[in-house]
Structure 1
Amino acid sequence: MAQPALFIAHGSPTLAIGNDDYIDFLRQLGQKTLKRPRAVVIFSAHWDSSVQLLTEDETHATIHDYYGFPEEMYSIRYPAPGQPELSKEIGALFGSCNLPFRPVSGRGLDHGAWVVLRAMFPDADIPVVELSVDSKRSPSEQYAIGKMLAGLRDEDVLVIGSGGLVHNLRLLDREGAAPASWAVLFDDWIGEQLGKWNLRSLFEYEKKAPHVREAVPSYATEHFAPLFYAMGAADHDRKALKLYQGYEYGSLSLNCWRFGSLE
């Protein structure tokens, strides 16, 4: 059975030290629900580049790319191995599709990648290749790049897009209010289109989705982009299943969608 592709919201960096329903869900997902993959390929919202980049390290450092958080968050390490052979295979796939790319050594995993993976695979023993996103590309181009990697799922590689569907830091409610109605309406609209695999509407979400300016502000489109990369990796079977939907700080959505094989 092929591995699915996943879109996973990484929420606030404090997810790294949290112990709530979403953390419990991610632990269950990685350790019980999914078949253990031989490797993970993860597109992170926190690596935005006009050139497609990918890691090629033997072992990853842990990047603490956030500021003003509890001190304990800066001592966390997630020393997952890399897999240079898989990086080369991905590069060959990009090359065969005429996509310019560049392997990168020594960067490490940013928190968009390691926070999610640490919850799912806490032993840090599954090889990881991190890939950049390009928030300036159109959704259809982002989807096409994900599609280039669809065959990896048949090789027991789990493809993940890590970001956030509703990600507007300027509209957060630090008091922990109930979910904002506009955020729920946006997420529900996206969910309806995903359920129908309605690419036409999804590719035009900036014009069609309700409350899109609040949900995906111009300064945070990189957090929405991983959705399309993950979807593209499941283009061959085009099935979507919502696994989780929740919120923190009123409007920061915590969504997880499974694409492809739904068993």
Structure 2
Amino acid sequence: MTLPAFFIAHGSPAMAVESNDYTQFLNQLGNRLPAPKAIVVFTAHWDCPEPSVTMDDTHQTLHDFYGFPSNMYTIDYPAPGHSELASEICALFTRSNLPHQPVRGRGLDHGVWVPLLHMYPQANIPVVVVSVDSLRSPQEQYDIGRMLEQLRHDNVLIIGSGGTVHNLRLLGNDEDEPEDWAVEFDDWMEERLEKWNTRELFQYDKKAPNARTAVPSYGTEHLAPLFYAMGTADMSRKAKRLFQSYPYGTLSLNCWQFGDDV
């Protein structure tokens, strides 16, 4: 079974306890996909120079946020790990001469377990987490994703978890209409993603409208997972946006599918 890859905006940690159009979409997405043998997540909340891969067979749930209601800190997402798959990922990186780090004992950050909580609430599918490097170019991020493309043909679901517009300093309130600058940036990305125009996408910071506002210098790690996930579908080069909304007027919640439908 060949599965598409996805870029999924993980939004606020509070999404773990919310019920809205986006959480319902994620639940439906998990239900309509064939059950994967494992899930690989490139997460925005693990940013380090060398790709790091969780080697654990069990995971702890990280509550890597502050200022939220107390019930948020009791949520457990006890998905197992998959050390065999993690070793295969490391072997693929080695084959491409990419320095990397196997890591034990890290756990699942909220960029991983919050969306998975809605997609696979039973937490019964093994998860392997891979870090991103926000200082690499989009081309390099894409190329690292491409190293793992063969995993999709072995019933492995690959997800990039982050956000396209993720400027937390410019959040509005729940009643806000989407800000024009946020929509303009996402629309520019949509046009180039659908055409698989990597030449312009890899220069989004220079070519996209409102790029510095949508993806501030302190938040590039949230866009990076999109390029990693996109790279894993390099052979098919098909992209489709499945969902879009803007809570707080600027926080872009979108989901992109890369690869063929199943």
Aligning the two structures, in what range does the TM-score lie when normalised by the shorter sequence? over 0.9
Aligned residue number for residue 38 of structure 2:
39
1:168-197 CA-partner distances (Å, limit 9, x unpaired): 000000343011111011001100000100
Amino acid at match of 2:25: F
Gaps of 5+ in 2: none
Query: Does residue 1:21 correspond to 2:5, yes or no?
Result: no
Kindly provide the amino acid, as one letter, of the partner of residue 236 in structure 2: D
Question: What is the rounded CA distance, in whole Å, between the counterparts of 2:152 and 2:237 in structure 1?
Answer: 14
Find the counterpart in structure 1 of residue 127 from structure 2: 128
2:56 maps to what in 1?
A: 57
TM-score by length of 2: 0.99
Partners of 1:176 and 1:251 lie apart in 2 by 11
Aligned counterpart, 1:110? 109
Aligned to 2:253: 254
Aligned-residue CA RMSD in angstroms? Answer: 0.7
* Contact in 1 for aligned 2:164/2:222 (Cα 8 Å): yes
Number of the residue aligned with 2:2: 2
Residue of structure 2 equivalent to 1:193: 192
CA distance in 1, matches of 2:52, 2:148: 14
Q: Is the contact between residue 172 and residue 250 of structure 1 (CA under 8 Å) also seen in structure 2?
A: yes
Greater Cα offset, 156-165 or 169-178: 169-178
**Could you tell me how far 1:34 is from its partner in structure 2?**
1.0
Work out the CA distance in 1 between the residues paired with 2:192 and 2:69.
38
Contact map agreement 1:11 1:254 (CA 8 A) in 2: yes
Output the amino acid matched with 1:231.
M
Quote the residue 2:98 is aligned against. 99
In 1: Cα distance, 2:13 partner to 2:179 partner: 21
Indicate whether 1:85 and 2:84 are aligned.
yes
Trace 1:196-207 onto structure 2 (pairs within 5 A): 196-207=195-206
The residue type paired with residue 25 of structure 1 is: F
Counterpart residue number, 2:145? 146
How far apart are the structure 2 equivalents of 1:99 and 1:184? 36
Is this contact kept in 1: 2:174–2:247, CA < 8 A? no
Q: Letter of the aligned partner of 1:254 in structure 2?
A: L
Q: For 1:11 and 1:211, locate their aligned partners in 2 and report how far apart those are by CA, in whole Å.
A: 20
Cα distance in 2 for residues equivalent to 1:114 and 1:101: 23
SS at match of 1:249: helix
Deviation string, structure 1 residues 36-58 (Cα, Å, up to 9, x no partner) = 10100000000000011010111
Q: Which residue of 2 aligns with 1:214?
A: 213
Which amino acid is 2:254 matched to?
Answer: N
> Offset of 1:262 from its aligned partner?
2.4
* Distance in 1, Cα, partners of 2:212 & 2:146: 28
CA contact 1:239–1:262 (8 Å) conserved in 2: no
Q: What letter corresponds to residue 21 of structure 2 in structure 1? A: D
Aligned counterparts of 1:176 and 1:87: Cα–Cα separation in 2: 43
Q: Aligned pair 1:233/2:232, yes or no?
A: yes
- What is the correspondence of 1:155-170 to structure 2 with a 5 Å cutoff? 155-170=154-169
Deviations 1:123-149, CA, capped at 9 Å, x for gaps: 000000000000000000000000000
Cα distance in 1 for residues equivalent to 2:58 and 2:121: 16
- Distance in structure 2 (CA, Å) of the matches to 1:97 and 1:90: 11
| Residue of structure 2 equivalent to 1:67 | 66
In 2, Cα distance between equivalents of 1:176 and 1:90: 43
Question: What is the one-letter code of the residue matched to 1:34?
Answer: L
CA contact (8 A) 1:241 1:262 kept: no
- Deviation by residue 1:200-228 (Cα, 9 ceiling, x = unmatched): 00000000000111100000000000000
Count of residue pairs brought into register by the alignment:
262
- Structure 1 length-normalised TM: 0.98
Question: Is the 8 Å Cα contact of residues 79 and 124 (structure 2) preserved in structure 1?
Answer: yes
- The answer to whether the 8 Å contact 1:44/1:133 transfers is yes
